[in-house]
Structure 1
Amino acid sequence: MDYDSDTAGPKQAKALPCQEDRFDSGLDSMKDDELASEFEDMSVDAHEHTEEYEPWRSAVTEDGDTPLHLAVIHEATEHALQMIKLSHNHPFLNLQNHQRQTALHLAVITEQPQLVERLLKAGCDPRLADNSGNTPLHIACKKGSLTCFSVLTQNCQRHLTSIVSFPNYSGHNCLHLASINGFISLVENLVQLGADINAQEQCSGRTALHLAVDLQNPTLVRCLLALGANVNCLNYGGFTAYHLTYGRQSDEIRHQLYEQTAQELRELPESESDESDMEDLDLSEDELYDDIKFGK
């Protein structure tokens, strides 16, 4: 069966629309009774079929979901485990639906750490990215799923360094996503695992510390400083994290940063447009945070 390189599913006569950060692919593709019937017809049995051919491996819905995708989505755990067992190191495990989600993405989205672990041990590739450029670890950091995060990091040691630093299509790596969403424990864990605390997101060059100021999150600022964040890092507009405290309400954050920021970097640099730095951001809808422009 031919597979389209962009969908990892059968070639379709009509392209289906892709929505950024859509996590519900396949949720309505089959009714419960249809799903149960499909699972019953699979006859997933290690003794009845050869490893080379399993009829359920070629089945796919209009959303590009395989039976494994559907089993994960509908939390049909036993069927999912059977398919995983029979597909050890098989390309089937890494098939992506029309949102480019693998079964591993969906297991993280639905917070099923048991399936996350089984998929990884069976050979599912944790480096594959969905339509938004998110790997399963990005999604765990975005959702604040500490359990799935732990399973992923414990079972992805070989690729962990590259996955942690890998930016999604909005320019954010795992540390940026954990910071934007205010998940302190994940921020601490990521830094302990070797994430670059001073890494700049690709939209406007902000570090996690810049983002913490934007969020007006004094706890996160305090955490990042304790972990060794460099207060003198400049974003692409030439601003330190302290510069971003101008016009914002939190005196606590301002005081935290003032003493540690180099004296020559405390004054705002001259800029033709103080607003230009703010306009560089291109956050997806659930990554948006309140952002007050300089001088307001």
Structure 2
Amino acid sequence: MDLHRMPKQADYTFDNMEGKHADALQCHEEYFDSGLDSLKEDELLTSFEEMTVSAHTEEYEPWRSAITDDGDTLLHLAVIHESTEHVLQMIKLSHNHPFLNVQNHQRQTALHLAVITEQPQLVDRLLKAGADPILVDNRGNTALHIACKKGSLACFGVITQNCQRHLASIASFPNYSGHNCLHLASINGYVSLVESLVQLGADINAQEPCSGRTALHLAVDLQNPTMVRCLLDLGANVNCLNYGGFTPYHLTYGRQNEQIRSQLYEKTAQELRELPDSDSDSDMEDLELFEVLEVDIYDDIKFGK
């Protein structure tokens, strides 16, 4: 079985990051189309009934090997259709079994889908049964990344409570867009998640591997004064430079939110308030273009409901 775990930091290059950004800009709805049209409802129910009958034998279980054209197992489908009884039955019969960690063609496990569909009870049961929290989907997101991106406090709480051994590495590792869990929570404006992550030990000044922006840079980029204030109160470094040599305060140039500008002006070192001399206008235009790309990428989870 080819399982996709979090790659090593050395696996990230600017060349392959660009390709992954391009993939992320494809149809937004592909994130959650797994399995929904693979089986008709009556076929799905028939498969579940067959699973129930065979579950009482000690022989090879055909329901574990059943798979759709999208790579979904019956466990994936049961999670997607919120068939809790069948999910719990399969989990009970598959403790510490590789079946729990099968990845579909989008590299989603049942754990990913349980977070996407906001089912914290199933997240808890999957983790306690041996689901691997380190596995990533085709965008480099673990289940915790998705919880931070969606703002799912319940799923976030369940994962962090059950995954303390791996929590530091999971929370700090960037997905294929270069964002760790703190970046995702900041980008999407979830103040309580940002506070929780910092309390759990997340580096508030962690920089994206592709551009060097911190969570504070991102909050300024997206003109979110509440998040800017939150990050400042938590001790974010206002003098941190991204790879283009810009502080968060530099990103307020040409922006309309005076509240953010005044908050950062008071705290930014005097020598870092002026824009860098070389190619300032061109660099800022590049930043604005990159910001637009990022906004599109952030909004890549769409739901059919």
TM-score, scaled to structure 2: 0.85
Which of 51, 64, 77 is matched with 2:71 structurally?
Answer: 64
Superposed CA offset, 1:2-61 (max 9, x none):
x5678xxxxxxxxxx996761220011111111111101112565x222x7321111101
Q: In the alignment, does 2:129 pair up with 1:122? A: yes
Q: In the alignment, does 2:296 pair up with 1:285? A: yes
In structure 2, distance between residues paired with 1:61 and 1:190: 37
Deviation at 1:230, TM superposition (A): 0.4
Greater displacement, 173-182 / 19-28: 19-28
For the structure 1 residues 232 and 200, does the alpha-carbon distance in structure 2 shift closer, same or farther, using more than 3 Å as the test?
same
SS in structure 2 opposite 1:22? helix
In structure 2, distance between residues paired with 1:5 and 1:217: 37
Deviation at 1:255, TM superposition (A): 0.8
For the 8 Å contact 1:44–1:83, the answer to whether it is kept is no
In structure 2, distance between residues paired with 1:214 and 1:284: 10
TM-score, scaled to structure 1: 0.88
Indicate the residue corresponding to 1:276 in structure 2. 286
Q: Quick one: higher RCO (CA 8 Å, sep 6+), 1 or 2? A: 2
Indicate the residue corresponding to 1:148 in structure 2. 155
In structure 1, distance between residues paired with 2:132 and 2:106: 16
SS in structure 2 opposite 1:43? helix
- In the alignment, structure 2 segments of 5+ residues that lack a partner are 5-22, 300-305
For the structure 1 residues 146 and 283, does the alpha-carbon distance in structure 2 shift closer, same or farther, using more than 3 Å as the test?
same
Q: Identity over aligned residues, as a percent?
A: 77
Indicate the residue corresponding to 1:11 in structure 2. none
Count residues in correspondence.
274
Indicate the residue corresponding to 1:136 in structure 2. 143
In structure 2, distance between residues paired with 1:270 and 1:61: 57
Superposed CA offset, 1:230-268 (max 9, x none):
000000100000111111111111111111111110111
Indicate the residue corresponding to 1:170 in structure 2. 177
Deviation at 1:277, TM superposition (A): 3.6
Superposed CA offset, 1:40-94 (max 9, x none):
1112565x222x7321111101110000001100011011001001100011100
Query: For 1:183-222, what aligned pairs fall within 5 Å after superposition?
Result: 183-222=190-229
In structure 1, distance between residues paired with 2:53 and 2:172: 38
For the 8 Å contact 1:170–1:284, the answer to whether it is kept is no
Indicate the residue corresponding to 2:32 in structure 1. 23
For the 8 Å contact 2:3–2:135, the answer to whether it is kept is no
In structure 2, distance between residues paired with 1:112 and 1:81: 12
Q: In the alignment, does 2:167 pair up with 1:160? A: yes
Indicate the residue corresponding to 1:292 in structure 2. none
Q: In the alignment, does 2:257 pair up with 1:250? A: yes
Superposed CA offset, 1:155-183 (max 9, x none):
11010000000110000011111111111
For the structure 1 residues 19 and 120, does the alpha-carbon distance in structure 2 shift closer, same or farther, using more than 3 Å as the test?
farther
Indicate the residue corresponding to 1:38 in structure 2. 47
Superposed CA offset, 1:117-146 (max 9, x none):
000000000110001111111111111111
The alignment yields a C-alpha RMSD, in angstroms, of 1.9
Q: In the alignment, does 2:86 pair up with 1:86? A: no
Deviation at 1:215, TM superposition (A): 1.1
In structure 1, distance between residues paired with 2:73 and 2:173: 27
AA at the equivalent of 1:142: K
AA at the equivalent of 1:49: T
For the 8 Å contact 1:117–1:151, the answer to whether it is kept is yes
